[in-house]
Structure 1
């Protein structure tokens, strides 16, 4: 069985140094693995996106039985295949560790696309990666782990859920999920207003976002809820939606302008044809008069 864990880092080079130090096998997607750190840093610098999240991290682990069956080279190749599914237009380094019974890949993905400079964001990143990893497992005849999506839950939360109770942190997660599931929410102001309607207040201070359940006054930072509830993923997705809406508006306006131009041209053509007929009629009348005919 192949399982995954996900996280992010603000220091991509440090993450790669750690992963490379213990790697038995290493390879890269869209980069030369021995120069991957420099190549990724160059792309971030070129697009002036060196701050905040520099890399997305995925740990892809295999059972002891499958580790022995597949071997390090094959497991590294499976890491490359998963990387290709996740982000084909990003530079990704895959480092395979074999120092434990469970062989595993450290997959380090540059947050900035080399093709257009966009920053990677996939809401519910863990769910997305797990789905792709399950697809990969099916393709290679590996077993699939049927477990719930990874969120940063405490033991107390897990115990409450086993009793059929909803922990207050989960209430906040549900409110955020529901709000972000509405694609008309495309600004922080709209995001905040919708959460308020659901009984949750949200505040951004510096690099942190804090949620408060209004009924109980319980507060928690996004980092404690999981990656999808942190400041940058939320704002990045809202910005993407806003830009998409602007493009659609501009496209609609352009279509309207073109339609107006066509209508104007058609009116001008009709006016021209009317004047032309009137002019031809006047010419005909003058000819009748010149010939001595009365009209």
Structure 2
């Protein structure tokens, strides 16, 4: 089974290529490849690994398309223990040749440093044949995923029969999540989860978010609801946070937890009423005589004895 992800590259494409071809992550002594680096699970299509970045930049410069999206980073991950490193690399190479071999330069690096083997496939955004740029859309991605599944079947691997349609992630966010570092979207999800436990309606949910410093953009002329966190630079669509954070799903989650919220509010009101009606005690003077007691005991009795007992002083005759 291979899971396919795609990330657009908008800066430092050279770093992506270096990361994909990192010898420490792709090391495989004695592995023979076509256009890759010696003793590594690396390969290239329509270019060579050691000069891939220069060739891709030369193609973009030749056609005058050096801005915007520089390339695409595909990650093809396999189920642990299902494939060998060589087999995973062969699947990634076949995928690159079949999908991009006729028009684009591609490098492939198979990483073996994790429990799950995965291919990093870097594709130039500009075609070396006609200068046209590759346009990534949901339709093209589903077609690429279909091809990836087809290649996996030919190698006897399992595939996900009904994959969920998930929105793509920025590469920096993907790296941060894999390294268990917080991201702006993870912080927003945490705030939303906390607020959902305190509200009974969707309107209350928006109001609580505003109190936390969020800006809400709900416009009938716009298809998606977007929010901007405190000190945030731009608005983020709720649907980009995941399937559980769309307005429809938020309303369903609020409805499902409404009983618990109402019960919590009732308990808080009861507690406040108990605090208002309970008997208040004032600190008592430790040296005062308690009402209803005519005799003193303990240290208090000894204290009053020394205070009021007259001291006998004999008078000597002159």
For Structure 1 versus Structure 2, the TM-score category normalised by the shorter chain is 0.5 to 0.7
- State the distance in 2 between where 1:45 and 1:61 align: 32
Per-residue CA distance 1:269-295 (angstroms, 9 max, x = gap): xxxxxxxxxxxxxxxxxxxxxxxxxxx
Structure 2: gaps spanning 5 or more residues: 28-40, 170-184, 194-201, 203-218, 229-234, 242-318
Quick check: 2:2–2:152 contact (8 Å CA) kept in 1? Answer: yes
Structure 1 position 49, deviation (Å): 1.1
SS in 1 for 2:82: helix
Deviation larger for 145-154 or 17-26: 145-154
Structure 1: gaps spanning 5 or more residues: 160-166, 168-197, 202-210, 227-295
Quick check: 1:79–1:94 contact (8 Å CA) kept in 2? Answer: yes
- State the distance in 1 between where 2:79 and 2:72 align: 23
Instruction: Write 1 or 2 for the structure with the bigger share of strand.
Output: 1
Structure 1 position 77, deviation (Å): 1.6
Quick check: 2:80–2:116 contact (8 Å CA) kept in 1? Answer: yes
> What is the TM-score with the length of structure 1 in the denominator?
0.52
RMSD, aligned α-carbons: 3.1
The alignment status of 1:41 with 2:62, answered yes or no, reads no
Correspondence for 1:259 = none
Correspondence for 1:119 = 133
Higher relative contact order (CA 8 A, sep 6+): 1
SS in 1 for 2:123: strand
SS in 2 for 1:127: helix
| Equivalent in 99, 103, 107 of residue 113 of structure 2 | 99
Equivalenced residue count is 174
Structure 1 position 78, deviation (Å): 0.9
Per-residue CA distance 1:184-218 (angstroms, 9 max, x = gap): xxxxxxxxxxxxxx9444xxxxxxxxx765xxx86
- State the distance in 1 between where 2:127 and 2:239 align: 28
Point out 4+ residue stretches in structure 1 off by more than 3 angstroms.
152-156, 198-201, 217-226
Per-residue CA distance 1:34-73 (angstroms, 9 max, x = gap): 2111111111111111111111011001111213xxx222
Quick check: 1:94–1:108 contact (8 Å CA) kept in 2? Answer: yes
Quick check: 1:152–1:224 contact (8 Å CA) kept in 2? Answer: no
SS in 2 for 1:64: coil
> What is the TM-score with the length of structure 2 in the denominator?
0.49
Give 1 or 2 for the bigger CA radius of gyration.
2
The alignment status of 1:20 with 2:12, answered yes or no, reads no
Structure 1 position 117, deviation (Å): 0.5
| Equivalent in 94, 98, 107 of residue 85 of structure 1 | 98
| Equivalent in 125, 149, 152 of residue 137 of structure 1 | 152
- State the distance in 2 between where 1:50 and 1:152 align: 23
Instruction: Write 1 or 2 for the structure with the bigger share of helix.
Output: 1
